[in-house]
A and B are shown apart, each in its own frame.
Chain A
């Protein structure tokens, strides 16, 4: 079946099977590699993308359900995006595997609450795992990016 959605502001139209996830088709057909499969069951956040502004585990969302939505990924953020800059300045990454998902989740948090408390940051990012344990600096990065 065909699904149409906006990907980082550009219209895309993809041929998908009804049982395929958004993550599968983004990676296979749309050249998106910043969203990554790690747990495959919605608990690690490595596949986080924004669907209509909400952070979503692309490994769980069936692709047809993205029809008509606005999908945003880290590819759509430039190096000068304030959250990206804050992650760079705070050195908030090691291997980088979790980083795009973390950044996407952080942009969603900051869009909703521009000056979050530490508790809010922890709550919002608790579903994004970083096995390298870059959390201290991730926290710092989100504080920096906050208004």
Chain B
């Protein structure tokens, strides 16, 4: 993607891809959060359009990247308001939309599970049996609790929490909540499918082409090699475009139509396709009078909606992220992923770290307050340093949490009064274990071609890889081409998630270039990181290296209206070595701005199980007018250090830094977003008898 093509609007995203004879798809969705589907009658749809109904897909396979729980259309029960029950392909999107109105569906409403509390009560089961997926995204021990709505439970046992608690002079226990949020990439989900000689070909915006390929192979009973996934550049994703969303349905329509079909998701349907997991976390943390942490217990529940997607993975990451980057001898974590009759929730920039940091770091400030300690002091006293042991039993190296905190604090003049100021430190793991492969070819007409599965979603990792390749090959950028990922051609990769592309692929690239030099035509490099956690004890290696950061915020609060103004916001992020400085800055700034939205106003709202703010007017995302003048950041580097991915690090600490800034004014909140009503209620609590 050249700069010029981006600036002048010549980029062809998935939504712009076309094939001759292509039809356009629209999806009919259940209006009920839970209903028996008695009858679907599409006989009134005119013959020039193609309707797909449950009977067309009954014989197809069940998919799901971590748990096999999803069918191409809802078959007998619709499991959330927005669950696809039928679809139409027609010559134009309008015609398809009109045809949807001609499909008759008879529903019988069923009692629905609308939140975590109801799900855990267990009187309604969203799925009767929970089957673990054979997709390689189910790479860790998944522990469903059959007969309940819990599709995964992850546990950490480190020391003995009860023993630790006895040593504590001060104990804080509090419950924290974060709502569903919407990724809202400017380009919606879009996918184009065609069948060619028994092979399925897809052009789709996804970070996970190989996972999509294997799920689709299973749905259609094909060999993986008979599914081809090509990934055009994405107009943003932020995690929304991971794993299968529209692809199975679009492919089934194309097969029935015998023609290529494109599905570009109408904006409103984004909110019923993939959101961020709402989370409920209870944190109990104890320290001795001098501020030494001795024990921590975290109970976490995330609402994964009607389909698990990668929720089990998010629950696992929340489990250790919520312990935070601290030395704590006695830790007990129980983290669960729970089904409800809500739209599915999946990967969202931060992958659970935002929810975890909100709870964990707000609790740290409550503890500091109780101990009468400076929150920075309390953190610095306990933060992980090189050679310390994390709650997973792994020894941490190359960690710079203290430095990140100090830099962030300095940026808002922490030393000159703490009123209206707050901090948050962040630890985020990188996917472990995983494997990345990249190939470099000498092109016929001169120059080089890079082939790998890393997709372009605006994160700049393809640019970074091109820069690294140019250096390694000693070739100018203009001689290096980097075509869109195509699973027929590129070597295997786990997935471009958890900010791992630049690091993993960068390492693999060095080997690929060495191999190319030997072979003359083509070199393939591979890089693996190994480790993983025992799901029942949480012991092992959570991450082969750590994404580390801290945020500091200064706020002004209008105590009459409850309006929070962020005056200064700073993020300090450990980058190791920086490959592409402007790209790194953009990642940091973009993450902070998304964090601002999560902190101050973003939440998906529901009424009767339906999303009620499914448009960009009622669901607001930050605009240029919302950006504080004092939005700054710095990248910590170290000569010779490893490259650290920066795609997500600066987002998760932002909400808690802002929440802690409010806390410094005695405005103690436990719930996001920090809307005026939430802030006013906290002011009332403060004025009506102090901090609760």
Contacts and interface: CB of A to CB of B under 8 A. Distances in A.
Interface of A: 33-36, 38-41, 43-44, 46, 73-75, 77-79, 84, 87-88, 91, 93-100, 103, 118, 121-123, 125-139
28 contacts: A33-B12, A34-B10, A36-B187, A38-B188, A39-B267, A40-B266, A41-B617, A75-B8, A75-B9, A78-B8, A79-B7, A84-B7, A88-B4, A91-B585, A94-B458, A95-B233, A96-B1, A97-B185, A121-B624, A125-B624, A129-B616, A129-B623, A132-B236, A133-B593, A133-B622, A135-B623, A136-B589, A136-B627
B190 to A, nearest CB: 11
B186 A95 contact: yes
A103 B236 contact: no
B621 A129 contact: yes
Given A41-B617, A91-B586, A135 B627 contact: yes
Interface of B: 1, 3-4, 6-13, 15-16, 183-188, 233-236, 238, 266-267, 456-460, 582-583, 585-586, 589-594, 615-617, 621-625, 627, 629, 631
Contact of B186 (A74, A88, A129, A135): A129
Nearest to B4: A79
Nearest to A17: B94
A38 to B, nearest CB: 5
A84 B235 CA distance: 19
A97 B186 contact: yes
Instruction: Identify the interface centre among A38, A79, A95: most chain B CB within 10 Å of its CB.
Output: A95
Contact of A136 (B267, B615, B625, B631): B631
A96 B266 CA distance: 20
A129 B602 CA distance: 15
Given A38-B187, A131-B621, A44 B616 contact: yes
A13 to B, nearest CB: 21
Contacts of A118: 629
A133 B616 contact: no
B591 A133 contact: yes
Contacts of A38: 186-188, 235, 267, 616
Contacts of A136: 589, 627, 631
B386 to A, nearest CB: 32
Contacts of B616: 38-39, 41, 43-44, 129
A101 to B, nearest CB: 9
B624 A77 contact: no
Q: Taking chain B's interface residues, is the majority helix, strand, or loop, or is none over half, making it mixed? A: loop
A69 to B, nearest CB: 20
Contacts of A96: 1, 6-7, 11, 233, 235, 458
Contacts of B594: 131, 133
Given A43-B616, A74-B7, A94 B186 contact: no
A135 B593 CA distance: 9
Contacts of A39: 267, 615-617
A100 B13 CA distance: 14
Contact of B624 (A93, A131, A139): A139
Instruction: Identify the interface centre among B184, B589, B621, B624: most chain A CB within 10 Å of its CB.
Output: B624
B586 A34 contact: no
A118 B267 CA distance: 31
Given A46-B186, A133-B589, A126 B7 contact: no
Nearest to A76: B8
A44 B186 contact: yes
Instruction: Identify the interface centre among A41, A84, A96, A126: most chain B CB within 10 Å of its CB.
Output: A96
Nearest to B3: A88
B586 A137 contact: yes
Given A39-B616, A43-B617, A33 B625 contact: no
A122 B625 contact: yes
A73 B592 CA distance: 31
A97 B7 CA distance: 9
Nearest to B591: A133
Contact of A97 (B13, B460, B582, B625): B13
Contacts of B13: 97
Nearest to A78: B8
A91 B4 CA distance: 12
Given A133-B591, A133-B592, A134-B586, A99 B625 contact: no
Contacts of B615: 39, 41
Contacts of A125: 623-624
Given A43-B617, A96-B1, A122-B624, A34 B590 contact: no
Contacts of B11: 96-97
Given A91-B582, A123-B625, A135-B589, A36 B235 contact: yes
Contacts of A34: 8-10
B160 to A, nearest CB: 44
A126 B625 contact: yes
A130 B586 CA distance: 12
Contact of B586 (A87, A94, A122): A94
Contacts of A33: 9-10, 12, 16
A15 to B, nearest CB: 14
A100 B7 contact: yes
A73 B9 contact: yes
A77 B5 CA distance: 12
Nearest to A84: B7
Given A78-B8, A125-B624, A135-B622, 15 more contacts: A74-B9, A88-B7, A94-B236, A94-B590, A95-B187, A95-B236, A96-B235, A122-B624, A126-B623, A128-B623, A131-B185, A133-B622, A134-B590, A137-B585, A139-B627
Nearest to B615: A41
Contacts of A35: 9
Contacts of A91: 582-583, 585-586
Contact of B589 (A93, A103, A123, A134): A134
B16 to A, nearest CB: 6
B686 to A, nearest CB: 32
Nearest to B629: A118
Contact of A99 (B9, B12, B185, B188): B9
B551 to A, nearest CB: 14
A138 B9 contact: no
A74 B4 CA distance: 11
Nearest to B595: A133
Contacts of B586: 91, 94, 132-134, 137
Contacts of B583: 91
B269 to A, nearest CB: 11
Contacts of B592: 133
A45 B97 CA distance: 24
B7 A131 contact: no
Nearest to A94: B458
A25 B449 CA distance: 37
A128 B639 CA distance: 39
Nearest to A95: B458
